[in-house]
């Protein structure tokens, strides 16, 4: 059985090019196209697609509204393919939060050439989407979330103005713990589920989520608004301290290194590793080299194998390592590869990940 795909885009060129790309392979069939969600919905009543490729800005109904309608009626893998996604990070993140499987950013100029040159990527994403576990999205906001201004003031006092009589042994024990998390497709929802449940006493966390440049700042800002912990896009020299989460900027690698009695982040440009920048392997390898037994490595849902070898390096160095289980993964690619290498000491359901981190 071939994967039945519907393309919903008001551009005839986009519909034609994506159809041509997908129909080149025998296991994918574009059975329907529509220039707006209203026409698309009528066609879906006759045959529901396995995968939907959806633009955001369209006449009569925008893509995000249609996405929410699909997820409410029959959760289906939806791939957002939009030029708005290139400069509209907030809209794209809203789509991911609403349950979109993946974002493909298309440029405003040269769309035809871009789609043709990205054919292999589009085919890979459609295949992964067809076997993904798509569920109704239930946003969870932590009961620990407090007034953000008060929380920021408290953290400033705790981390920068520590009183002299603080138990230094206890301080060293907590600040030396570093949790590294790597995720990709399905990771935005998985991360939100985990981070919204974390208390402010959790260890410092550094995250690589495969995401385009400029998206990560908006992603971090949105998470920060709904979580008890402090979350920001990482910069070089950021200290890793309890209750703080640092997210690698899109388009840059992140590493963790020791600086005196503290761990800090190093953010730098560099070539893609495992086709990704930032790369989970780059983060995990730095944790293996510089944090060793004080580190915990967690690999979550995602396509491909980024992070598998790095997680193995962490395990060899004495770190705790864990992979998300297949049942709770949207795409069991990255965790599966790590498990195949025997890199994960434990395999954990997403619902139990907070307990593991704490």
- How large a percentage of the chain has pLDDT more than 90? 73
DSSP E strands: which ranges in 184-243? 204-209, 230-233
- Contact between 326 and 332 under an 8 Å Cβ cutoff? The reply is yes
pLDDT, residue 144, reads 46
Task: Work out the average pLDDT over 10-19.
Answer: 93
* Per-residue pLDDT tens over the stretch 101-114: 999 887 767 878 88
Neighbours of 240 (CB within 10 A): 24
Query: Quick one: pLDDT at residue 27?
Result: 97
Is residue 306 flagged as an active site residue? yes
Q: What is the pLDDT of residues 39-50, one digit of tens each?
A: 999 999 999 999
| Neighbouring-strand partners of residue 146 | none
- Nearest-angstrom CA–CA distance, 30 and 47: 12
- Contact status, residue 182 vs residue 283, Cβ threshold 8 Å: yes
Q: Tell me: the pLDDT tens digits for 119-163?
A: 888 999 999 999 998 876 665 544 444 445 444 444 433 333 333
State the residue for tokens 């989460």: 245
Polymer length of the chain: 358
Top-confidence residue, 14 or 142: 14
- Report the SS3 class of residue 114: helix
pLDDT of residue 164: 33
Which is the catalytic residue, given 9, 36, 55, 306? Answer: 306
If you average pLDDT over every residue of the chain, what do you get? 88
* pLDDT band at residue 170 under the 50/70/90 scheme: very low
Q: In the structure, what pLDDT confidence band is assigned to residue 83 with cuts at 50, 70 and 90?
A: confident
In sequence order, what DSSP letters do the residues of 60-112 get, joined into one string? SS-HHHHHHHHHHHS---EEEEESHHHH-HHHHHHHHHTT-SEEEE--SS-HH
Is 328 one of the annotated active-site residues of the chain?
Answer: no
Average pLDDT over residues 82-107: 81
Confidence at 116, pLDDT banded by 50, 70, 90? confident
The neighbouring-strand residues paired with 105 are: 82
Instruction: Compare 25 and 169 and report the one with higher pLDDT.
Output: 25
Q: Is the peptide bond before 278 cis (omega within 30 degrees of 0)?
A: yes
Distance CA 255, CA 260 (A): 16
Residue 174, pLDDT above cutoff 80: no
Q: Give pTM, 2 decimals.
A: 0.85
Q: Contact, 348 vs 324, CB < 8 A?
A: yes
Point out the catalytic residue in the list 184, 286, 317, 328: 184
Compute the distance between CA of residue 71 and CA of residue 31 in angstroms, rounded to an integer. Answer: 20
Q: Does 173 have pLDDT greater than 60?
A: no
Catalytic residue among 36, 92, 183, 210: 210
């Amino acid at each position: 059985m071939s994967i039945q795909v519907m393309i919903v885009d008001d551009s005839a060129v986009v519909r034609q090019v994506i159809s041509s790309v997908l129909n080149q392979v025998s296991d994918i069939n574009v059975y329907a196209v529509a220039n707006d969600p209203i026409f698309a919905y009528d066609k879906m009543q006759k045959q529901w697609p396995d995968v939907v490729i959806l633009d955001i800005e369209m006449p009569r109904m925008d893509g995000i509204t249609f996405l929410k309608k699909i997820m409410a009626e029959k959760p289906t893998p939806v791939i957002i393919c939009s030029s708005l996604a290139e400069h509209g990070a907030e809209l794209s993140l809203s789509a991911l939060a609403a349950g979109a499987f993946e974002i493909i950013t298309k440029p405003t100029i040269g769309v035809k050439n871009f789609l043709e040159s990205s054919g292999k990527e589009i085919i890979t994403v459609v295949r992964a989407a067809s076997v993904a576990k798509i569920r109704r999205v239930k946003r969870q906001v932590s009961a620990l979330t407090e007034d953000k201004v008060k929380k920021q003031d408290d953290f400033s006092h705790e981390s920068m103005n520590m009183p002299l009589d603080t138990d230094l042994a206890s301080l060293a024990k907590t600040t030396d713990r570093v949790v590294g998390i790597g995720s990709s497709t399905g990771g935005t929802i998985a991360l939100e589920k985990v981070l919204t449940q974390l208390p402010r006493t959790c260890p410092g966390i550094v995250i690589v989520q495969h995401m385009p440049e400029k998206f990560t700042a908006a992603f971090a800002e949105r998470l920060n608004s709904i979580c008890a912990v402090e979350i920001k896009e990482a910069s070089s020299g950021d200290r890793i301290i309890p209750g703080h989460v640092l997210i690698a900027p899109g388009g840059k690698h992140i590493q963790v290194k020791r600086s005196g009695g503290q761990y800090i982040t190093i953010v730098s440009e560099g070539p893609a590793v495992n086709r990704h920048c930032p790369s989970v392997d780059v983060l995990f390898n730095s944790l293996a080299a510089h944090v060793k037994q004080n580190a915990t490595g967690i690999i979550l849902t995602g396509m491909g194998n980024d992070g598998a070898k790095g997680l193995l390096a962490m395990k060899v160095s004495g770190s705790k390592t864990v992979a998300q289980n297949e049942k709770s993964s949207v795409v069991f690619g990255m965790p599966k590869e790590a498990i195949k290498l025997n890199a994960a000491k434990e395999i954990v359901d997403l619902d139990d990940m907070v307990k593991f981190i704490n």
